[in-house]
A and B are shown apart, each in its own frame.
Chain A
């Protein structure tokens, strides 16, 4: 099978203006550099992981891809079509067609389900929006979806508050699958769940991917779930990629000092594990005034004054598709 690219992101930038009220008009007083010129691609059938700490731009990237927050600049191609062009054309049908192909599972299943709709209403709403399932088949499809995500038929008449967190996340997944998407963006799908339930959802996502041949963009701050579920991983820091590589390659030989520190910071559930912890100094700088040069430079232990501070680092292939943005390598 040849590798086909499903999603391609080119030079994506997402800035949020900070405004203050002036005498008459709002004026812009600053810019949050949420995502700053990132490029990556996701191949068909793979799970691409977007990892980083809070505020590094993972969710902003995902929302920009879906045009929930239109990007400031840059291009996004989905199956070769430019997403921005379709949204700018305001062609409702074309937009719907695109929306059907890309779906989103949100982080918090407690906030992303309408409490006044039954599970059946929630899962069948996409049918009436997209009209891709004939009326007489809708109920049949609903039960199919419920069983697919491991729920029972009788759950259809219930309301979200009657379910536990894990079950709610299953409902969210069923809703996303209702339109038979090609790409599923899962934004921290297990972060708000209990440990014993996390495994259920992670396994479900993996099973569904094999069954339905879907592509995932998996967003998480938790490297251990990323290692488990992703084929390729991109590590973000302050709105930029620092490293992109195959999962095994990345975990076995991380090249960027930030990736190394991030990995060493994860507590290992083994009392005998020799932790060679690289403690990072200080905290993530503000994305309003990102540091000059390499964004990681103020906290990097290998920093070289003239090189790292003056010019920013670009992603360079360090061999075998292992991309890293560090001038030291």
Chain B
């Protein structure tokens, strides 16, 4: 088994707002092994992005990391000084943002933006940096890179911009790529192109990736392991196959069944009642219990279920894990 590259332990990031303290990430633990792709799945407000932003310590105000450890190659990133962190950002761990339209600087040509990153981390001349940039544009399959590299972001389509963002993230050969919903803002056919590109590049360059998404379809094709988040906590963490074929947490099961499928047509979709809880005053005990059909009074409502290893490498945070089973039709037919 490969070594752990990134290990997040009991991470807590809170946002101190006027309305109260928003516990956006409240005790998240996860790991990314070298060379693997971890899919971080959850709905909006589940803390996916905040977890990734915390990893690079770029949580926007009024957010603050107030607890936990983030071990990267065994070193705690939370204890590093700001100038040491700057050497990690972009060079060791790179980030791709959700919306390519806002993550690129509109007043610089895309070549300049890449040169800036390359020269920040590597001791090279401008010409060498430009050559590197050109090479990267070829890597992310931009047509006519010699001409296109001097264009400005507004001259490019969404898919092209996201390719540039990928090129910029890869410019210093990071060991870990944090991709925050890299395809959500794109059309399906373009999404397929970008996912394909990420998958190929990951293999070519041997880096690890944390892919943040809300789309179970996206992770199924790309991720090796999946961690499911709900309301700032980890529900379940296991290999992709285990999550899809043998989920143990009721939220994971419900999430899989609530999505209309292309493969099989059901008369009615399974509904998760209610809505995502308010994170200023999250539900007591298990955060999913008000919406969970298996919740037990006195158990789920009171105690926070710890993340326990139910099977080798299959972690579940549910007091009733193992007692409940996913509805059979879904599993049987999809196999």
Contacts and interface: CB of A to CB of B under 8 A. Distances in A.
A269 B265 contact: no
B210 interface: no
A305 interface: no
| Residue from A167, A197, A206, A248 whose CB has the most chain B CB atoms within 10 Å | A197
B226 to A, nearest CB: 9
Contacts of A53: 187-189
Contact of A283 (B157, B244, B272): B157
B81 interface: no
Given A251-B262, A269-B256, A273-B220, A195 B271 contact: no
Interface stretch (A80-88, A181-189, A259-267): A259-267
B310 interface: no
A270 B256 CA distance: 10
B260 interface: yes
Contact of A196 (B43, B195, B215, B265): B43
A196 B189 contact: no
Interface stretch (A12-20, A25-33, A130-138, A223-231): A223-231
A164 interface: yes
B120 interface: no
Contacts of B259: 195, 198-199, 224, 269
A158 B271 CA distance: 25
Contacts of B256: 269
Nearest to A264: B192
Nearest to B243: A271
Contacts of B220: 267-271, 273
B43 A199 contact: no
A265 B262 contact: no
Interface string A217-241: 0000101110111000000000000
B269 interface: yes
A199 B271 contact: yes
A199 B274 CA distance: 11
B190 interface: yes
A265 B241 contact: no
Contacts of B47: none
Nearest to A263: B262
Interface string A277-298: 1011011100000000000000
Contacts of B188: 53, 221, 223, 262, 265-266
Contact of B187 (A164, A198, A199, A221): A221
Contacts of B62: none
B334 interface: yes
A194 interface: yes
B44 interface: yes
A266 B217 contact: yes
Contacts of A72: none
B3 interface: no
Contacts of B260: 199, 202, 224-225, 227-229
Given A267-B217, A271-B244, A203 B271 contact: yes
Nearest to A247: B265
A41 interface: no
B155 interface: no
A189 B262 CA distance: 19
Chain A interface size band reads 35 or more
B114 to A, nearest CB: 21
Given A164-B275, A196-B258, A199-B270, A275 B265 contact: no
Contact of A194 (B159, B187, B214, B269): B214
Interface in B234-292: 240-241, 244, 254-256, 258-263, 265-266, 268-273, 275-276, 291
A7 to B, nearest CB: 25
B180 to A, nearest CB: 17
Contacts of A225: 260
Contacts of A266: 188, 217, 262
B120 to A, nearest CB: 31
A262 B271 contact: no
Nearest to B260: A228
A114 to B, nearest CB: 22
A284 B335 CA distance: 35
A315 to B, nearest CB: 22
A91 interface: no
A166 interface: yes
Given A195-B255, A270-B334, A277-B196, A262 B189 contact: yes
Contacts of A228: 260, 265-266, 269
Nearest to B196: A279
B240 A269 contact: no
A272 interface: yes
A112 interface: no
Contact of A224 (B160, B221, B240, B262): B262
B193 interface: yes
B218 interface: yes
| Residue from B157, B256, B258 whose CB has the most chain A CB atoms within 10 Å | B258
Interface in A171-219: 194-200, 202-203, 206
A261 B272 CA distance: 32
B173 interface: no
Interface of A: 53-54, 164-167, 194-200, 202-203, 206, 221, 223-225, 227-229, 248, 251, 261-273, 275, 277, 279-280, 282-284
Given A194-B44, A227-B260, A268-B261, 10 more contacts: A53-B188, A194-B43, A197-B272, A221-B188, A224-B260, A228-B266, A266-B188, A266-B217, A279-B192, A279-B196
Q: Which 6 A-B pairs have the closest CB atoms?
A: A267-B217, A228-B260, A265-B192, A199-B269, A269-B216, A196-B272
20 contacts: A53-B189, A164-B276, A167-B275, A194-B214, A194-B276, A195-B216, A195-B255, A195-B259, A197-B272, A198-B258, A199-B272, A200-B273, A221-B188, A266-B262, A267-B192, A268-B220, A269-B220, A270-B244, A272-B334, A283-B160
